[in-house]
Every structure is written in structure tokens, then in C-alpha cells.
């Protein structure tokens, strides 16, 4: 077993399935341009002043650490330094918390003028910020102040691990006893789609030396956790899950229902596929991705817009983000390249970017699938 980390080779699945290099490259660039610089009805990146910019969650009309960090990752992958720096400066200016229990974390939601909507963080933002910043450091070199990318990334990860220790008030983002990422600091359950073992492997090389053993352990813990969080027959995971992998059904009075395969959870299979691509350390990832594709292409071939329990029971609700489903189903082909992979990839290729007010989440997952399947989602 050898992933791209060792081989330095990144599969171009589109090319494997007969699409030309020219049309693949054109499609990747067009996807970026639409999201970042398209018409008002298409884009959700906006410049702010002379040197900042933000990604708008068009469904909720705010800026989130999720979207800001995703935007930064897209930019570093495609060598878009100006947009990257604009996003990071906006994040550091408005989202960074310099006091209180969330000190040195980032407020997960801000109004589009930068006013904070929240005093707490969401850990998926921090882990993407750190990885994007490390890649920026390695691709472009460190600059001054907040643009000393590697220093900023290390500081984020240090806080995520060491909060709760003497001199570090607040709650860590990873549960110290099991090295699993939390849904939010202070609560004892997780979100399977937050688990990024392929990031943690790199944190174990790039982070502060004292924390590298922790990150190596976190990568192993997350891979083991995903075995529990993904249903063995369908491959589906819940949006929130307890530390034993059981769908989390509590806290519905606060957060609503999240014990089903719905919006957050779509990212889980994409993350599994990326870990397989980069590190190829767990043969189970191929097996579960193939079961996942069978579920959609055979068992539920006419219900890709459905909402499911993790055992595959179809509910009455319809998916809020149907294009995101198509995108991650295709991205799963990085791990499962058997019976249904080409069907999933072709369906994605023939699906346009989403339009309308809910386009933000769908089109981010679309962009990531486009990068990954074209061989452009790389380690730096």
C-alpha cells in the first residue's frame, strides 16, 4: 500500500474514464472562476476593501469558518495567493477571538460586515485553517505578521490540543482521552465528517514537535472511529455521532435532528476517499466506499435526493443539498474504483454547479470533488 504521500502520484480519475486533459483543466478553472469571480447570482466570494475578502454562506447570509477555511484550501491548491491572503486577513480581523473561553479560536459565524454572530468555534474550521496555512507556507513561503503562515498554523493546533491545561483556560477541540475531534469544544460527542486523518498525518510532521505524537495518535484514532461511525452495510454515517460511533440523538432541542445521513454527513465519504488517496493505510476504506456506491447506484438508484437513516431506511424528507451528494458520490471513486465508480463520476461530470440561494455548500463540495478527481488536490 502506498498513497500519494509516498508516490507523489495523484490519480486523474476523469482522464482514466476518457475525458481529455484539456477539457478537465478547463472545467477545474471554470469551476473556480464561477465560485470566486462569477456573476452575483453565481459567486459567493466577495472582496472587502482593498485587501480582504469573504465567502458567503448564501443560504444563511453569513460567513463561517467552514467556508473561509474551505476557500483558503481551494486557493492554495490552485495557486491563488491573492484570494487566499484576502480570506485569511478577513478571518484574522473579524473571526479571531483574543479573549474569553474561546481565546485564540475563531468565531464560527460572522455577519457579512464582520460582526460576530457567535462566541464559540467549530473545529472543522480550525483544522482546515491549519492545513491550508501549512500548505501556503510550503508553496509560497512564510511572510510577515499574520502571513507567517506556518507560525499561524502551529499556533492554531497548539490551542486545539492544549486548552484545558494549566494556563490555557477553555476546552480543547480534541478529546484528550481518545484523541477524537469534538463537534464543539465542551460537548462530548463528535461529527464523523470532521475526521480528517489525512490532515492529522501531516500535522504530525508540521506541528510543534511536542504535539506530533498526539497528531499521529489522532490519525489512528480517527480511522478506527470511522469504522464505527459508518454503517457496515450502507457506508452511511450520521451528522453527529457519539464516541462509540452511534448516531447522536441527544441535544435536538439545541441543534435540531442530526442522527441521520444528511448535509454534514455527506463529507464523510469524501474524507475517507482523500485519506485513501494520500496515505492508503486502511483497506477498509475501499470496501466501505464500494458499499456506499452500491447503496446509491443499486439500492437507491432513483432516490439520490433522499434522506436516510444510517441503515439505509429512507425517510420522507428530501436532501437540502442534492448536488453535494452527487459530488461526494463521485469523489468516493478515489477509493472505490469498481462496479459503480464510472457511473458516479460521469453523473458528476454531467451535473452543473448549483444555482440559487443554497449554492454555497453544494458548490464547495463540487469544487473539492473537481480538484480531487482531476489530480489537483495535493499535499504540499
Q: Which is more confident, 299 or 338?
A: 299
Burial class for 344, CB neighbours closer than 10 Å (0-12, 13-18, 19+): buried
3-state secondary structure of 290: helix
| Cβ 324 vs Cβ 361: under 8 Å | yes
Mean pLDDT across 170-174: 97
Contact 314, 307 (CB under 8 A): yes
Does pLDDT of 243 surpass 80? yes
Mean pLDDT across the chain: 97
First vs last C-alpha separation in the chain: 21
Distance CA 130, CA 180 (A): 17
pTM passes above 0.95: yes
pLDDT, average across residues 96-106? 94
Q: How far is CA 283 from the centre of its chain?
A: 22
Is 264 one of the catalytic residues?
A: yes
Domain residue spans in the chain?
A: 1-42+230-380
Sequence-ordered strand ranges (E) for 296-366: 306-308, 314-318
- The Cα–Cα gap between 173 and 376 comes to 29
CA atoms within 13 Å, Cβ hemisphere of 274: 24
In words, the CATH class of domain 1-42+230-380 is mainly alpha
pLDDT (tens digit per residue) in 31-67: 999 999 999 999 999 999 999 999 999 999 999 999 9
What average pLDDT does this structure show over 237-256? 97
DSSP structural state of residue 182: P
Alpha-carbon dihedral angle through residues 253, 258, 264, 269, given to the nearest 10 degrees: 160
pLDDT at residue 303 greater than cutoff 80: yes
pLDDT of residue 337: 80
Dihedral pair phi/psi, residue 126, rounded to 5°: -60, -40
From the candidates 124, 264, 280, 331, which is the catalytic residue?
264
pLDDT over threshold 80, residue 1: no
State the catalytic residue, choosing from 62, 66, 175, 211. 66
CA distance 76 to 324: 22
Q: Are 106 and 129 in contact (CB under 8 A)?
A: yes
Q: Is the pLDDT of residue 320 over 90?
A: yes
Residue 317: per-residue pLDDT: 97
Average pLDDT of 328-337?
A: 96
So what's the pLDDT on residue 167? Answer: 85
Amino acid at each position: 500500500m502506498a498513497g500519494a504521500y509516498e508516490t507523489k502520484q495523484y490519480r486523474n480519475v476523469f482522464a482514466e474514464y476518457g475525458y481529455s486533459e484539456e477539457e478537465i483543466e478547463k472545467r477545474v478553472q471554470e469551476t473556480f472562476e464561477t465560485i470566486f469571480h462569477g456573476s452575483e447570482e453565481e459567486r459567493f466570494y466577495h472582496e472587502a476593501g482593498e485587501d480582504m475578502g469573504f465567502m458567503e454562506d448564501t443560504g444563511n447570509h453569513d460567513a463561517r469558518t467552514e467556508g473561509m477555511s474551505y476557500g483558503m484550501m481551494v486557493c492554495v491548491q490552485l495557486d491563488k495567493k491573492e484570494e487566499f491572503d484576502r480570506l485569511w486577513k478577513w478571518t484574522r480581523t473579524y473571526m479571531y477571538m483574543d479573549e474569553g473561553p474561546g481565546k485564540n479560536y475563531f468565531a464560527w459565524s460572522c455577519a457579512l460586515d464582520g460582526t460576530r454572530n457567535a462566541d464559540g468555534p467549530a473545529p472543522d474550521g480550525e483544522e482546515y485553517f491549519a492545513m491550508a496555512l501549512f500548505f501556503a507556507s510550503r508553496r509560497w513561503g512564510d511572510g510577515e505578521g499574520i502571513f507567517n503562515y506556518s507560525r499561524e498554523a502551529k499556533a492554531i493546533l497548539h490551542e486545539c490540543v492544549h486548552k484545558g491545561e494549566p494556563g490555557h483556560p477553555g476546552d480543547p477541540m480534541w478529546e484528550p482521552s481518545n484523541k477524537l475531534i469534538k463537534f464543539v469544544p465542551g460537548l462530548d460527542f463528535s461529527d464523523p465528517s470532521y475526521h480528517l486523518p489525512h490532515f492529522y498525518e501531516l500535522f504530525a510532521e508540521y506541528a510543534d514537535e511536542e504535539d506530533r505524537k498526539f497528531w499521529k495518535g489522532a490519525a489512528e484514532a480517527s480511522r478506527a472511529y470511522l469504522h464505527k461511525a459508518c454503517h457496515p452495510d450502507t457506508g452511511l454515517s450520521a451528522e453527529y455521532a457519539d464516541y462509540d460511533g452511534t448516531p447522536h440523538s441527544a441535544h435536538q432541542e439545541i441543534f435540531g435532528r442530526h442522527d441521520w445521513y444528511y448535509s454534514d454527513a455527506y463529507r464523510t465519504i469524501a474524507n475517507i476517499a482523500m485519506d485513501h488517496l494520500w496515505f492508503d493505510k486502511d483497506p477498509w476504506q475501499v470496501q466501505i466506499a464500494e458499499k456506499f456506491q452500491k447503496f446509491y447506484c443499486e439500492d437507491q438508484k432513483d432516490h439520490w435526493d433522499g434522506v436516510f437513516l444510517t441503515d439505509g431506511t429512507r425517510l420522507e424528507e428530501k436532501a437540502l443539498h442534492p448536488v453535494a451528494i452527487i459530488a461526494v458520490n463521485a469523489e468516493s471513486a478515489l477509493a472505490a474504483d469498481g462496479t459503480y465508480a464510472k457511473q458516479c463520476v460521469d453523473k458528476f461530470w454531467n451535473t452543473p454547479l448549483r444555482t440559487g440561494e443554497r449554492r454555497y455548500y453544494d458548490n464547495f463540495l463540487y469544487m473539492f470533488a473537481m480538484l480531487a478527481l482531476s489530480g489537483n488536490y495535493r499535499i504540499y
